Amino acid sequence: MALRMTGSKHLMTSARRLGPAPAWQRAQSRRASWQGGLPAPYVLPAGFAALLAVGTVTAALGGRLGATGVLIACTVVVGGFAAVAQPTAAVPLAFIGWLTVTGFSRPPYANLRLTGFVAGRAAVTLAAAALLCAAGGAAFRWRAARGTLESVERREQSGISRRRQLAGALLAVAGLPLLTVLLTALRLELNLSDDLLIYLVAVVCVTVVGGFWPAVFAAVAACLLLNWYFTEPLHTFTIAEPRNLLALVLFVTVAVAVSSVVHLAARREADAARSAKETQSLLGLAQTVLGGADTPSDVLDHLTASHGGHAELLERVGGRWIKVASSSGADQESVQGRPVQGTRSSSGGTTPRTPRGVPGGEEHVPGTLRFEVRPDLALEVSGQAASATTSLLAGYTAQAVAALDRARLRTQAAQAEALAEGDRMRTALLRAVSHDLRTPLASIKASVSSLRQTDVHWSEEDEAELLANIEQNADRLDALVGNLLDMGRLQAGSLEPFLRAIAVDEVAPVALRGLDDADHLLISVPDDLPLVRADPGLLERVLANLFSNALRHSPPDLRPMLRAREDGNRVVIDVVDHGSGVPDGLKEQIFEPFARLDTRSPGVGLGLAVAKGFAEAMGGTIAAVDTPGGGLTVRVTLPALMSDVRTPLGAD
């Protein structure tokens, strides 16, 4: 997943994966958090302790380590820690190192000589060493970071706001002088140890309010104030007693260490709160997806609803980025033709991608963050709140891409199902052509060939029988071809019923025309039955198929019938037969195309399927129920119209 941010404080490296990262990538991600250098709260206490050790060793050697040796030792300490630390830690390290050199260059030790050749040479040397080592370490880390594949947010999360840091600095500037005035007035009642502890409490208070850097400033300032006002000789930076110097250096070290602990605790608390918010947001997203709202737009809507801004899922088609999904309220303007932003490659370089046919360089959209999941797929977000961290946005990116893949898989599955259904239809049609169409055609051909024979004399009864056979099989072919054409219209979705007010007792007799034993079916329709809202032609085909099915399955001594009745704002039409019936588990199956429970019966199993499709197209329903005493009743329900105006059959 390649990440790039324009118009923002976020800086991203590139990644090429979605989903759980392997162990080596997770370890690399943890290392990447240190690529800006070791945090100052860790480095400064260690650096101050090392400089304290240099001063202690120098004093213990009793002058055998000269000014140059002290300067070299302090330069090595300051340069080493500045190289591995954040660049901001170089200044306090250089300052404490300079104080160490000026205080321990020559006996008497602890006498701060802030002017002169030694102090000037130390200031230049330590400043140069700190700056050069900090710059060299930063350059080395930047070069090493170029090969990182894991997305890393390089913006430092201190856990303490700018306002609190400013308040801590103001507290140090105003509070330390006031505290010094108070302690000066109480000098006779307090000793140096008491003053050190009181100043340490003040530094801790500054840390709690403003964090680490105001506390470092307060610790150094408190050390200087203690030296000037409370260590002999007063009002000079000279320290008469070496133990007092040790106390002051330990004070600074302890104050910075305590500040580091407080700062890190505040930072971890902020990290925990941010992680809790991210977890809550991702939990809500998971609930949304599991609840069925799993389209890319639903994922993007959840992102913008939780964190503001707007988001778009883009796909690269033909060298141009095309918007395939967006959050609600997002700009509907097409992004087609927008040049592709550069992406950071694994080697660290930024490779501009310009669509084919679009000249020129890159066009950056200010304030946007683009996650290039694949070379042809990207999520672009803008205007999100600070709670939308890069790791959270990466999670949303993965979910949006997965939702898009699922949607396309569903579409492909539906298309595959449609193709399978089409194949099944073609197979059934071939079966119908091979048997159900050939049988009546063969019978017709045989009858016609018999009638055309000149060497055989047929009686009138024989000719009538042959002609009746021709007519019967032609009617059978007509019904079969009609059902095949009707099913083709239903499958193609080209059926457009013309609904009007029509009477059931006008359509039923027309539907009986051409059926064998049509006079055997009874029609029972009340005179006060309301009109139905239906297409006369489609309703005729529905009833004709139901009548044919009922006549075929009813025994000769039990006549099938049509019954109609009013049921509220609906009209119920029952076509009843007294045959063997259908088991309950198969009542839904008989309405499927080419469903034949009895393979010995004529037809291809399209009659009831066509009836169901036409009934539903007219806003009705169709179902199969048991006939009391045995048999099957097919129940058609259509909307009723409380109007006496009838439309004659065939009228437009």
Mean pLDDT over each residue of the chain, to the nearest integer: 75
- Position 129 pLDDT exceeds 80: yes
Q: What is the pLDDT of residue 329?
A: 58
- Position 356 pLDDT exceeds 60: no
Instruction: Assess whether the region 2-7+293-410 and the region 495-641 belong to the same CATH fold.
Output: no
pLDDT in tens, 167-187: 888 998 999 999 899 888 887
Q: What is the CA radius of gyration of the chain?
A: 46
Are 297 and 328 in contact by the 8 Å Cβ rule? The answer is yes
- Position 149 pLDDT exceeds 70: no
- Position 650 pLDDT exceeds 50: no
Measure the CA–CA gap between 399 and 401, rounded to whole angstroms. 5
Confidence band for 18, pLDDT divided at 50, 70 and 90? very low
CATH 3.30.110.60 fits 495-641, yes or no: no
* pLDDT above 70: percentage of residues in the chain: 75
Measure the CA–CA gap between 499 and 510, rounded to whole angstroms. 18
| Coil/strand/helix, residue 202 | helix
CA distances 92 to 88, 117, 173, 460, 605, Å, are: 8, 22, 17, 127, 91
Query: Per-residue pLDDT averaged across 491-519, rounded?
Result: 82
User: Considering only CA atoms, which of 633, 644, 635 is closest in space to residue 527?
Assistant: 644
Options 3.40.50, 1.10.150, 3.30.70, 3.30.450; CATH for 2-7+293-410 is: 3.30.450
pLDDT in tens, 539-587: 988 898 899 889 888 888 889 999 999 998 999 999 999 888 888 888 8
Measure the CA–CA gap between 252 and 219, rounded to whole angstroms. 6
pLDDT in tens, 262-277: 777 877 887 787 778 7
**Topology annotation, domain 411-488:** Helix Hairpins (1.10.287)
pLDDT in tens, 310-343: 788 888 888 788 888 888 754 444 333 344 343 3
Confidence band for 644, pLDDT divided at 50, 70 and 90? low
pTM of this structure: 0.42
Across 38-47, 86-95, 455-464, 480-489, least confident range: 480-489
- Residue 627's contacts (CB-CB under 8 Å, 6 or more residues apart) are 576, 577, 578, 581, 633
Where along the chain do its domains lie? 2-7+293-410, 37-156, 160-265, 411-488, 495-641
Measure the CA–CA gap between 248 and 565, rounded to whole angstroms. 106
* pLDDT above 90: percentage of residues in the chain: 9
Measure the CA–CA gap between 11 and 15, rounded to whole angstroms. 13
Structure tokens at 213: 């850097």
Which position has the higher pLDDT, 486 or 319?
319
